Structure 1
Amino acid sequence: MSPAARFRALPLRSRLALLVTVAVALAVAAVAAVSWVMVRTQLRDQLDSSLMATNPNPQVGRVLDGRQCATRPPEGQQDIAGKLNASVQIVTAQGEHCWVSGSATLPVTSVDKEIAAGKRGAALQDVTTADGTDMRVYTMPAQAVPGGPVFGISIAKPLADIDKPLSTLAWVLLLVSGVGVVGAGAAGLWVARAGLRPVDELTGAVEHIARTEDLTVRIPDRGDDEIARLSRSFNSMTAALASSQERQAQLIADAGHELRTPLTSLRTNIELLARSEDTGRAIPAKDRRELLDSVTAQMTELASLIGDLQELSRPDASPHGPLGVVALHEITGTALSRARLRGPELRFTCDLQPWYVRGEAAALERAVVNVLDNAVKFSPPDGEVEVTLRAGELTVRDHGPGIPAEDLPHVFERFWRSSSARALPGSGLGLSIVARTAARSGGSAELRPAAGGGPGTEAVLRIPGAPAPPPAGPSVVPDQ
């Protein structure tokens, strides 16, 4: 398994703690490295300044005046330069050197020769003595008398003067970094645990719901941070699921109740017909005809109820047909033809102005038919049904008994039927389908008492559109 895969396999809090530890370790390492380099640079600059500030002329003068040239320091030699922990020697262009002061003999480099020959100016360099001591050397050109021969003077101090403090500093930084990394790891683990505690609660709630299917569980949503927003979103989701589950259970219960009546009647009629065949006692032709008509009516009612249930079971965002530009006035005219067949004794008056909408032609026709069927059902014999379509508002008025004011808020609920309509055929789903279809087309549906205080009810279907079709383009607009 690769390191990345092993990292992803760790628990989230372990990954957070590890990431915090690594981030702090990198930051501490960077700060320690920068601090060490800055201190080293500062110490070397101070060492170079002290070398360049050392005045070796008194010692060099004694050597030149005595014309004595020692290549190494005598035993126990101490002088001012030696007390300053500095070594001084004279260098010639031929590579010869004379000890002046200090406790170390410095090797002569090519840079020293070039300076002693007058070919370059003063220079700083690092050298290593014969006994392995690292030295910082400052070599500068000099003359015994003006116009005399040029020679070089090398002044050196051991690099241990700065290496020891730097070594101590490195150990201190290493110790502090280690303590910081360990502390960061502990703090990261604590922060991960504290920060993920709401996530643990959310996980526990999800696991509880998955185990018990209890959608009433709610998670505390204190604060306004991301976890609180996630908790509120989860609570909203479970509330929506609970409401959907409740509506589903109610729909099943209501559908079972509505299906029970036609099924019971259908079973009774079929049992009568079967008993007549089994016993050989013929049912009078008139009664047999009535039984068969009743069976046919019950089958028709069952088919209509099942169709309505299928329509309502479809998700709101999944139309069963293409969306297109539809002539609502033509759909209303077709629905009126069907309504006249269902209420031949009624008078239908219509005033249909052109209106084009975007929607499903079949669904819109079904909705208009449902509104007209409702008017036919509640109209008295020889009554009148008035249908008008103006500026996208389809109004269907009957002259029946009307709907009580206390029933109006419930007319678009599934399976709801007023007390005056329970004896009439129907499932109580027609107006629910009307409201759903209107909403899908961007409109609305309303049932209200007839205008002017007269008898009857007005059903109003409002769908946005235009009085003329689009000037060009296909008649069917793909769903977005």
Structure 2
Amino acid sequence: MREVRGVRGMRGHFRRLTAACTDRAGIGAGLRWKLSAAIALVGALVAVALSLVVHNAARVSMLDNARDLADERIMIAQRNYELSGRLNFPNTKIDDPELPEELRKKVEAGRRATYVADRPGGAPDIWAAVPLKNGHVMSLHSGFTDRSSDILKDLDQALVIGSIAAVLGGSALGVLIGGHLSRRLRKAASAANRVARGETDVRVREAIGGVVRDETDDLASAVDAMADALRQRLEAERRVTADIAHELRTPVTGLLTAAELLPPGRPTELVLDRAKAMRTLVEDVLEVARLDGASERAELQDILLGEFVTRRVTAKDPDVTVHVVHESEVTTDPRRLERVLFNLLANAARHGRPPIEVTVEGRVIRVRDHGPGFPADLLAEGPSRFRTGSKDRAGRGHGLGLTIAAGQARVLGARLTFRNVRPAGAPDDVPAEGAVAVLWLPEHAPTNTGSYPMLPQ
């Protein structure tokens, strides 16, 4: 039993993992836009940094050229002044009072120098000065040329346009890359969910496709390996369970036969009762093993669902109330449908309280009791063998009835759900007013579940 519970727990963990993958696959669109935003942000930062670097480098280069030109002009003006004694070079002055103080100090120290004075909101001023032999200072004052300013403006405009193009291109690239990655994750999550539902032929790695291998392929391979290991353990569990139950069938049958030969009396009744219970348990375990093997096939017939349920339930337990809200003709396996129905009634009678009500509405069958409700584990993970639930619904049975019902519903292509009945708006800690098991029969014959229809002879 520990091994069985361990494998069931592993299956439940795998289902929770695939559900988490699906939830994360839900962030596919978010992943796409997050990646796009990240690339756009990085692109914007890089573009701004490069624009600033290029702008400053171009500005410094143009100012250096302007200072070199001013230096050459002041040298020419100095030679002309010293030869002719007249100041005939444009923009030159002797002892200009507006000469910047820093430049004046350098010239008074006997050095020829140039200086750039920034003007707020305008083009910078270019100064050049040289000491004369008579102790005076000749200076040349010019501004940043219009052509240089235009070139710098054109460069800034080109940098802005290039930055915007880089950001938009990076965003588009992020959308493409993120979309490709999110599609692969969605395919992986969808395939993992199909594996969790029992489709053993699904391979996540093949489902995502693609030529270039990345971390998504590693994840898919890991999920495939985990699914293979889980399938092997489940198959080993099924074989062991079936073998044990098969080996027990013969001695249990012999024990029941021998008990029937005992003389009448209370001890004989107790032995017969326990022997019959053991035989029922062995048969249930064998049925669970067959259902787990996914080899069961439905023998389909057309029946009137409301009439069928009313007739079978009344014959089984006249105290159960049957309501046919809407009659419907369905194609299903009557024997398996009866098995599901009787197991739900037996569970309601064993763990719930009367009155027990069965409602047929179209293709939907509801079985309700007025007991303490289903345990939280069953509502969260579905039926599990050898687990009878909480204290209120525990202590009787082996937890195989609902497991068999769910397995037979799967063969029919139907869906079996469970819920508790509580007053409208009541919190979860309020005791339930009953439990409802709902069997949803498919609209079409269950050929998509691996079952095949048995045509009437």
TM over 0.5: no
TM-score using structure 1 length: 0.39
Q: Which has the greater radius of gyration?
A: 1
TM-score using structure 2 length: 0.41
If asked which structure has higher relative contact order (CA below 8 Å, sep 6+), I would say: 2
